[in-house]
Amino acid sequence: MNEEVGLVLGTKDASPLEFWVGVLEGKYLELDDIVEVSTEVPGKGEKVTFYGVVDHVRKLYEGAQFDSDTLLVGEGLIPIEVSYAAFIKVTRVEPEIYIPPHPGDKVFRSTSGIEKGLYFDRMTKKLPVGIMRNGNVVYSNLEFINGEKGGHLSISGISGVATKTSYALFFLYSLFNSGVLGRELASTHAIIFNVKGEDLLFLDKPNSKLKEEEREKYKILGLPSDKPFEGVKFYAPVRPYTKEIEVITEKRKEGIKPYFWTVREIAKNRILRFLFSTGGEEEISTLMHAVRKIEDRLYELSSEGDNYEPLKKDSEEINTLFDLKRSIESDEGWWFGGGNVASQTISAFLRRLDHAARSTSSIIRPLPKGNYNSSSTFHINWEKSRFTIIDINRLDSYSKMFVVGVIINEIFKKKEKSNSSRPLVFIMLDELNKYAPRTGWSPIKELLLDIAERGRSLGIILIGAQQTASEIEKRIFANSAIKVVGRLDPAESERTEYDFLTPTLRKRAIMINSGTMIYHQPDVPVSLLLRFPFPLWATKKEEVEDDEGNLPDFF
């Protein structure tokens, strides 16, 4: 039942979009409370109801003129009244008659009208994305997530404090377990790049240290409270310079598949360019002409021989990038098409290729000896699982750029070829500012920009996380229908990218705790502060239970 908490103030301006409330004695309003107030429409004999969120609260002594008056009040020498007021940002007006509320109108803390006040009642497909401070569930409109009306999610905040990765995983967990996807659930995929540590390699294991109060939060959200991620496949790079194929993970090896690419695959799929995604814009642009020439020649060579055979030029085998470099050096005229590339560019290309060869030995290598009739054995088959975790945390920048670029390019090409928005594919990528920085150009940045602008029509949804939204490509951020903010650096919070936050929320963003986020979506006029529960799934090896519910002995 709604509780009367105050009156619309007559000493402050009241408008259809914002107004002040004088809080009654013995009552209170706090930040994020939802209120409602009804007022008579003059001459019409009907009422209009305003719903709003408390954005600011303050108290002061009425009539006090000097700082010392406060001391005198405390000694009982001056009679005075306390003014307790709250500033309300209007979220909805029903019916849409935009007159201001009348001074003296009764204001209620809303319980029955929360869904209406925040437009949750208009959402046909509601995704639970967190819990408000008053205990109510925050919903997001799936149509602004799955590409129907909008797409893409951007999460910003300080590393280690803002819990960006944790929230992105909770978002995906809710998406796949809330029932909101309906029949599309069976065919929807999520590709998650593990960029830091090995914490994401335990998503399919229950969290042994989860408290019962956290399970209750999942129940409030209408989500399962007893199971981790399901339908997960893990992939990791292989140990370099070894005959045996062994993944380079340390904390978990069971259930993790190795991945790498052969030179033949690079040739056939024209993906050499993703080895040249680091460096200055001018340098990369200059090299791209040479890269395309080499890609053309490699593609010609890949048309001969079987997929499991080494690439050959004449009788010369090209098994590694070092082999490719030697072949180019021995016949520059053929590789670069008869002198169309400047000698300085060729030299720069070969230097970069040499560096790439030394850096990518764990992800670009020949097939091992044995009964392998195709390199598909070591291919990341994201279409065969619901969740695909690709570990890149131990790779250097060259290798990370290559893996991310190749996988996203493969997804984009397949979806582009099908020309269909279904099945949905969600791509979760942390440290987005490294792959799509505000300045400069690279093949992977161009690809991510293409996904931001055209991806939702193809059913590709980007969940990008970064410390600073001001340092990623503007159009990628602008095309994100959903914007989520954790704790921000004070200087970063003042950037124009966060203009969707009210002044109060900007201040709160620099002090909110881990597990608290600010959620902005097109359907709701104001951003909402929410909390999300601790992970049901293990986030590190020490949280994993064995089959009998006991913690394993790791030492």
pLDDT at 405 (0 to 100): 97
Task: Give the predicted TM-score (pTM) of the model.
Answer: 0.93
Largest CA distance in the chain: 103
Query: Token digits for 392?
Result: 């890149």
pLDDT at 371 (0 to 100): 55
What domains are defined for the chain?
Answer: 3-117 (2.40.30), 126-259+376-543 (3.40.50.300), 263-359 (no CATH)
Phi-psi region of 521 (alpha: psi -120 to 50; beta: other; left: phi over 0): beta
User: Strands 528-531 and 516-520: what pairing?
Assistant: antiparallel
C-alpha 426/C-alpha 460 separation (Å) is: 6
Query: Token digits for 202?
Result: 């335990």
| pLDDT, tens digit only, all 555 positions of the chain | 799 999 999 999 999 999 999 999 999 999 999 999 999 999 888 999 999 999 999 999 988 888 888 888 888 888 888 999 999 999 999 999 999 999 999 999 999 899 999 999 999 999 999 999 999 999 999 999 999 999 999 999 998 887 999 999 999 999 999 999 999 999 999 999 999 999 999 999 999 999 999 999 999 999 999 999 999 999 999 998 787 889 999 999 999 999 999 999 999 999 999 999 877 667 777 899 999 999 999 999 998 877 778 899 988 999 999 999 999 999 999 999 866 789 999 999 999 999 999 999 999 999 887 655 556 779 999 999 999 999 999 999 989 999 999 999 999 999 999 999 999 999 999 999 999 999 988 999 999 999 999 999 999 999 999 999 999 999 999 999 999 999 999 999 999 999 999 999 999 999 999 999 999 999 999 999 999 999 999 998 889 965 444 444 432
C-alpha 234/C-alpha 359 separation (Å) is: 22
Q: Output DSSP code: residue 544.
A: B
- Asked if 320 and 366 touch (Cβ cutoff 8 Å), the reply is yes
**Helix, strand, coil % (nearest 5) of the chain?**
35, 25, 40
C-alpha 240/C-alpha 238 separation (Å) is: 6
Per DSSP (E only), the strands in 392-453 are: 425-429
Q: How far is CA 466 from the centre of its chain?
A: 8
**Cβ count within 10 A of residue 541:** 16
Instruction: State residue 331 phi and psi, 5-degree precision.
Output: -150, 60
C-alpha 262/C-alpha 321 separation (Å) is: 9
Residue 306's SS3 state is coil
pLDDT at 374 (0 to 100): 57
Q: Which of these, 365, 472, 544, 466, lies nearest to 162 by C-alpha position? A: 466
Q: Which of these, 215, 35, 58, lies nearest to 107 by C-alpha position? A: 35
**Looking at beta carbons, which pairs linking 315-323 to residues 24 or more positions away fall under 8 Å?**
318/263, 319/262, 319/263, 319/365, 319/366, 320/263, 320/357, 320/361, 320/364, 320/365, 320/366, 321/263, 321/353, 321/356, 321/357, 321/360, 321/364, 322/354, 322/357, 323/263
pLDDT at 324 (0 to 100): 97
CA torsion sign, 536 to 538 to 543 to 549? Answer: positive
C-alpha 527/C-alpha 353 separation (Å) is: 47
Query: Token digits for 307?
Result: 């997929």
- Asked if 176 and 480 touch (Cβ cutoff 8 Å), the reply is no
Query: Token digits for 185?
Result: 């659930």
How is 81-133 classified by DSSP, letter by letter? EEEEEEEEEEEEEES----PPPTT-EEEE-STTHHHHTTGGG-SSEEEEEE-T
- Cβ-count burial 234-273 (b if 16+ within 10 Å, e if not): bbbbbeeeeeebebbbeebeeebebbbbbbbbbbbbbbbb
pLDDT at 547 (0 to 100): 45
pLDDT at 339 (0 to 100): 63
- Cβ-count burial 420-448 (b if 16+ within 10 Å, e if not): ebeebbbbbbbbbbbbbbeebbbbbbebb
| Element spanning 67, H or E | helix 67-74
